[in-house]
A and B are shown apart, each in its own frame.
Chain A
Amino acid sequence: MERTHYKQEINMTETLMTRINELISHYPEDKRKSALLPVLHEVQDAHDNWLSTELMDKVAEIIQILPIEVYEVVSFYSMYNQKPVGKFLFEFCQTSPCCLNGTEDLMDYTCEKLGVKMGETTADGLFEVKGVECLGACGYAPMMQLGDFYKEHLTQEKIDQLIVDCRDNKIILHDK
């Protein structure tokens, strides 16, 4: 079991709660649990892209289900993070069609450029490089997911520029 006792400040803002209630309204009244996956995305996006045990408990309370029902879902799906991650999480697709067009070398380049290994966060907490499975962009490789968006047809130059843009806070992570 991985360490889960990282501290996280919970802030269920009014905007967030409005959105959560809207999502819950998409399902019949006695089927609130169905909203769990979309709600977890919203909550995670609003909390630095990860979900602490306390935050999952909060979600359970809002949806009116048991905490275990939230934990089992969070640990199953790969998009939910159970510990802090870099603010700009570079998720490279590393499945074969992408590899045919040089993804693995570009991942190495990005790691070297940032001075981290795969799965490590830079000391300033800004960047993390991760390999993920097929993202459905096979014809536009190499590519990565950054927040809600895909960055496709990547090259070393584009990676360099992307890192600069992230540092300058020019990158929009979420479409809310």
Chain B
Amino acid sequence: MSKKILLDKIKIPGIKTYEVYRQNGGYASVEKAMKAMTPDEVVEQVKASGLRGRGGAGFPAGLKWSFIDKKSGKPRHLVCNADESEPGTFKDRYLMEFIPHLLIEGMITSSFALGANLSYIYIRGEYMWVYKILERAIAEAKAAGWLGKNILGTGYDLELYVHCGAGAYICGEETALIESLEGKRGNPRIKPPFPAVSGLWANPTVVNNVETIASVPWIVNNSGDDYAKIGIGRSTGTKLISASGHIKNPGVYEIELGLSVYEFMNSDEYLGGMSSDRPLKALVPGGSSVPILPADLIYKTANGEDRLMSYESLSDGGFATGSMLGSGGFIVYNDTSCIVRNTWNFARFYHHESCGQCSPCREGTGWLEKVLWRIENGQGREEDIDLLWSIQSKIEGNTICPLGDAASWPVAAAIRHFRDEFEYHVRFPEKIKNRNHFVAEPFEKVKHLVSKVIV
């Protein structure tokens, strides 16, 4: 059993409620931070922990906190990013649904460290029942004196609210999230200025992922150095991984960073191997945006070293032979999966979710979707594969926010590692037309997608 610091108490009956959470040591970090530490000392501990942003980018959390503008005298805000929408990712939802007070405790301790008096949890609108769970948990915490005026007699005031989105992947990008929190369309802002200087209502703001904030109580209760001892190298601590696809035990797991991909995939403690015992074909280790890995690059890196669940090891080899830890959305594909269809499906997702501000992304994602669709349906041309490569290369790096990159990378990686499958689709359209790639063959072709009119 590897170390657990986020989900260690999740199986305790009634941990969802304030009483049980408190009886099991909950809110101790708030007491310790407010009574025995200064805000800067809390920031120092988080810096020392090496905790990196768990939303996908992996930026050091303590460093991000240290950028917040404390000199201007403007009100400061902490905003929790609970807009989890990256395909393959469902870890934050699990944490918020089953141990909501851990996030609230983290929000209070972190807000204290940043000197924020008004903080928000921005949750995606589809998680409406979780929104209600958080709203009720906040009311419980407030009734118990952890929120409001003069908390624990320290003179520190904090109000915390939940805010819901309404179905837009782009709002997971921090500046789009801020726009949305201001009641606007989720159009990302041009940086600089960064939110740490001018964020919510032009006030200094820190935006952190749910898992990042939920890790803070443990760091404060123990120490940054203790946290840094967990994990491997610069990948400190634990990570929530949400696993889906063709595996025996899909679900959310907390792993110590540095666990080998092989053990995570095959041990009964974790995924338990492939469902139906079919061979492994490909893996997306960190949510749909990160490059897909073919079977021969999953357990070993190109250098022949063991591939580990860590920021460094998963990205070993760059995009040529590596991928990224990303958000921890671990999607496993067996031999019946069609890579072209999967790539088309992701392209459709990004096309749907593009906010439309930047032409390369607005138009390019649509082109990717269309070209991939015609290849998948046996109407592809030889030159389409190079065309796809060209389109993705012109989106990447040419947009305000990383959605453009996120749309390009899966297409580039699919062509890089599975070019033969694209060529097969183009050369043998008849064979492709009558295959269903997503479930064990033979199976009737999916109808509503086939009948879609091709423009």
Contact = CB atoms under 8 A, between A and B. Distances in A.
Interface in B103-155: 118, 124-129, 132
Contacts of B181: 34
B2 interface: no
Contact of A37 (B183, B341, B447): B183
A147 B128 CA distance: 9
A95 B250 contact: no
A26 B165 CA distance: 15
A139 B125 contact: no
B183 A135 contact: no
Interface stretch (A72-80, A82-90, A160-168): A72-80
Nearest to A76: B185
Interface string B190-214: 0000000000010000000000000
Given A28-B118, A102-B439, A138-B242, A78 B124 contact: no
A150 to B, nearest CB: 8
Interface in B231-287: 242-246, 250-252
Contacts of B443: 105
Contacts of B438: 99-100, 102, 104
Contacts of A58: none
A141 B244 contact: yes
A96 to B, nearest CB: 4
Contacts, number: 163
Given A105-B446, A149-B129, A79 B167 contact: yes
A108 interface: yes
A55 interface: no
Nearest to A138: B244
Interface in B395-451: 438-439, 443-444, 446-449
Interface of A: 26, 28, 31, 33-38, 40-41, 63, 65, 69, 72-73, 76-80, 94-97, 99-102, 104-105, 107-108, 111, 117-118, 132-141, 145, 147-150, 174-175
Interface of B: 84-90, 93, 118, 124-129, 132, 161, 163-169, 180-186, 201, 242-246, 250-252, 288, 329, 331, 333, 337, 341-342, 345-346, 349, 352-353, 355, 438-439, 443-444, 446-449
22 contacts: A28-B201, A34-B181, A35-B183, A37-B165, A38-B163, A41-B164, A72-B184, A72-B185, A77-B167, A79-B167, A80-B167, A96-B331, A97-B331, A100-B245, A100-B331, A101-B245, A108-B446, A133-B85, A133-B169, A136-B127, A139-B244, A149-B128
7 closest Cβ pairs, A-B complex: A139-B250, A77-B166, A36-B183, A138-B244, A78-B167, A79-B167, A33-B183
